Amino acid sequence: METLKQIGMNRGWIYEVIISTYRDKSPHSAPIGVWTNDFVTLHMEIYKNTRTIINIMTLREFTVNLMSDIMIFYEALFDKAKITYEKSRNVNAPFIKGSPAVIEFKLKEVKDKEKTFHLTATPIHAQISGSISLINRAEALTLESLILATKLPYLPQRQIKETLQENYRVIMKVAPGSQYEKILRMLFEYLQIP
């Protein structure tokens, strides 16, 4: 199943999605960063003792909601009562009603790390009902960095440079080898930031 390639994922890039699970038959959702290294499996790291990791470890199934509406991310974090769910067909997990795309997953492997669990999962079914716009933070961080660089003459340089360096670190993590990484490298050369 090449679902992850078909939806437009790039190898090694981290995308922001909403994971949905059940806990005692009640639906639960949370934003999570996910990636693929091979287009066959999905990876994520989730902090220990979160409701999401407990649900996934218990039922070993979940859905990935590919949402482009940032309001749903807010609601998943801070206003959960506004989210409406439907039952998945192939896994014991809900999905968010109106999701442009939902992929059902089964947990394949768990690696225990110091503060997180690294999960590997296999897609078993995809339901695509709208256009997919994957969310990767690199584009927004690149735009923010370019705008921030124009403020160097007017604001404390140290603070701006530290923010630019942090943005670059995140871009390299979430979109390695991307045009966004290249733009930041060129910006750093232009601004002579080490």
Please give the share of the chain, as a percent, with pLDDT higher than 70: 99
Alpha carbon separation from 6 to 1, 9, 49, 132, 146 (Å, rounded) = 9, 8, 33, 10, 31
The number of distinct structural domains making up the chain is 2
Taking 60 as the threshold, does the pLDDT of residue 1 lie above it? no
What does the pLDDT read at residue 174? 98
Average pLDDT, the chain: 95
When pLDDT is averaged across residues 114-130 and rounded to a whole number, the result is: 94
DSSP states along 92-124: S-EEETT-SEEEEEEEEEEEE-SSEEEEEEEEE
Confidence of residue 66 (pLDDT cuts 50, 70, 90): very high
Beta-ladder partners of 45 = 118
- In a shared domain, residues 7 and 101: yes
Shared-domain flag, residues 14 and 106: yes
Domain limit, last residue, from 105, 128, 151? 128
Given 81, 111, 128, the domain boundary residue is 128
The residue segments making up the domain with residue 177 are: 137-191
Boundary residue ending a domain (93, 109, 128): 128
pLDDT band at residue 167 under the 50/70/90 scheme: very high
Mean pLDDT across the stretch 99-123?
97
Instruction: Report helix, strand or coil for 20.
Output: strand
> Does residue 192 have a pLDDT over 90?
no
- CATH number of the domain enclosing 91: 2.30.110.10
Q: What is the pLDDT of residues 43-57, one digit of tens each?
A: 999 999 999 999 999
